[in-house]
Chains A and B, each alone.
Chain A
Amino acid sequence: MTETTTNAPSRPGRLSEFWFYFRENKGAVIGLYVFAVFVILAIFAPLVAPHDPIMQYRDHLLQPPVWEDGGEWSFFLGTDAVGRDILSRLIHGARYSFYVGIIVVAIAAAGGIVLGLISGFAPRWLDTIIMRIMDIILAFPSLLLALVLVAILGPSLTNAMIAIAIVLQPHYVRLTRASVMSERTKDYVVSARVAGAGIWRLMFITVLPNCMPPIIVQAALSFSSAILDAAALGFLGMGAQPPTPEWGTMLAEAREFILRAWWVVTFPGVAILITVLAINLMGDGLRDALDPKLKRS
């Protein structure tokens, strides 16, 4: 008996199937590569960056990038108003951006999924309470609410991340609740109940895995909005505090030189743009690859 089951063929790998569909979307693949490059840069920032990000070279204030008149190879993208190397600051800044993205998405998704599951399974009164609270959070412009929260908690990168996580969370709650609602009436959920599954097993083992694809896509897309929001808060002086080389904070510090030294403002902005664009492209590809309706097999 056991011999017959040991030679059972294993799965052809869900990952390879996923890659097959993901590969078809060229934009998504480019996004993935750009994203991967940024991740590698962020991980090996101290090795890659030519200078210390907060080291001030007082002889090289506002030095233009290398291809402009007066540029130097040692400061490839130029320096800012106090003589810090912009390239090094951008590379180190990537660390903060990904740090913010990962932590924010983790908090928002974990909280949102649990609340959404409870809301989908709970009696109607509890569902109503949870959903009305989420509606109230959604009714505020997201950046305004994040600003208020940071103002209450005090400006720092950690508090900014908590604030952004709270602002992004209702999207996960709604998404999870909607999928749970449509899944829980299906026969396989009833059959799991008949098979004796308790409410926790139903929630996390039976229903949740079937709700994951839209949540994964939402996680990828809100990764970029978390980076964007963190940069916005940094720009408003409510996020990472100087001299942290966070992209938004760099923009804020460079505001007054926008006419005199374009490179101080442009490069952090371009870094934010490229990262967010790459992640969004990747998220679109993820959606196409995970949506069972688009599969042809």
Chain B
Amino acid sequence: MTDPILKVEDLQVTFDVRPRGAWPWTPSLKLHAVGGISFDLNPGECLGVVGESGSGKSTLARAIIGTVPTSGGKIIWQGTDLAGMDERNRRTHRRDVQMIFQDPLAALNPRMTVGQIIAEPLVTHKPDTPKDDVRRMVAEMMERVGLLPNLINRYPHEFSGGQCQRIGIARALILRPKLVICDEPVSALDVSVQAQVVNLLKDLQKDMGLSMIFIAHDLSVVKHISDRIVVMYLGRAMETATSQTLTTRPEHPYSQALIASVPIPDPVLEKARMRPVIQGELPSPLKPPSGCVFRPRCPKVQASCALERPQMLDLGKGHQVACPYHEAHDVLHATA
């Protein structure tokens, strides 16, 4: 077992929120976007992160990349804590960790040509690269992600969503990074295009030996690309398991509900299926429930759930679950 490339230990991100019409001296509210998450990422591994909107997935991504300040815990990149990094290490970290965004068009500067956009990381990180080399590398990378290199002088608005996302991927990969964080890279795309982009990412990951954090709210997409999956709810990790285990034998009631919500492409099976349904809305992260955050919506809630925050229980083989009342639920054979 090699050393993990990225270690996240009890990461917390809190935002200050000013209440409406507050006086300058009233204390601001604390929004716990990420409330204590730990995981390891091995080189060449793809970690999926799933959860509802507002569960802190994007904040987690932004904290790892360093654009959102953390308020607790550690992010350890190749053995060095991100918080205590000196300027030189920070630059290499920035170069080695790149990101792919959700809205492909919004993530591309509308006043730059595709060539300029893809070359931007090269220009900022290696300003002394000769112009010819930059042009050659951009063209190579465009071809690699399935774009015709003669589109280099076009502007982003002339492309379709899938092509824009390919441009975003090319930009993220041109520096040959070690880790790519994909923040819902396909949720803004058509289903047919989604498959193309996910397969492209998978191929590139294999070819370049990338580590990847793949964030999505669509479990079926995550399952397809990830080796391991973390299920998040209201800023906390509920369950971590290999994608095989998680999708077939989830232990946490929330994961079970999440997986049950994935439709089966067979109307007979789909109708016959018994699914635990969760009701209600995600609680406000300004006032998270005491104890287990999933308590108000949990079908298996007990009185003790309100008392203290459940610990991560290790079930072996990298399977961890944050619920003392966990119980395996066989997804495939759970028919009524």
Contacts and interface: CB of A to CB of B under 8 A. Distances in A.
Given A4-B139, A210-B109, A191 B152 contact: no
B107 A5 contact: no
A4 B150 contact: yes
A45 B109 CA distance: 45
B124 interface: yes
Interface residues of A, number: 25
Contacts of A187: 101-103, 106-107
B271 to A, nearest CB: 40
B120 interface: yes
A2 B135 contact: yes
A5 B135 contact: yes
B65 interface: yes
B92 to A, nearest CB: 11
B322 interface: no
B149 A5 contact: yes
B110 A210 contact: yes
Contacts of B102: 187
Counting contact residues on chain B (CB < 8 A from A), the size range is 35 or more
Provide the main secondary structure of the chain A interface: helix
Contact of A210 (B95, B111, B136, B148): B111
B124 A9 contact: no
A76 B108 CA distance: 59
A201 interface: yes
Given A195-B120, A196-B95, A188 B150 contact: no
Given A188-B106, A210-B110, A197 B120 contact: yes
A13 interface: no
Contacts of B110: 188, 210
A196 B111 contact: no
A7 interface: yes
B107 A191 contact: yes
Interface string A136-163: 0000000000000000000000000000
Contacts of B98: 194-195
A1 B99 contact: no
B125 interface: yes
A198 interface: yes
Interface string B65-105: 10100000000000000000000000100110011011100
Contacts of A193: 67
Given A4-B149, A190-B101, A201-B124, A195 B171 contact: yes
A84 B17 CA distance: 69
B59 to A, nearest CB: 13
A193 B94 CA distance: 9
Nearest to B151: A8
B145 to A, nearest CB: 15
B109 A194 contact: no
B142 to A, nearest CB: 9
A4 B149 CA distance: 7
A147 to B, nearest CB: 38
A193 B171 CA distance: 12
Contacts of B94: 194, 196
B153 interface: yes
For A186, A187, A210, the residue with the greatest tally of chain B CB atoms inside 10 Å of its CB is A187
Nearest to A210: B111
A210 B148 CA distance: 27
A123 to B, nearest CB: 13
A16 interface: no
A188 B109 CA distance: 5
Interface of A: 1-2, 4-5, 7-11, 186-188, 190-198, 201, 206, 209-210
30 contacts: A1-B149, A2-B139, A5-B135, A5-B150, A8-B150, A8-B153, A187-B101, A188-B106, A188-B109, A190-B62, A190-B67, A190-B101, A190-B107, A191-B99, A191-B107, A191-B168, A191-B171, A193-B67, A194-B94, A194-B98, A194-B99, A195-B98, A195-B121, A195-B124, A195-B171, A196-B91, A196-B121, A196-B124, A206-B109, A209-B111
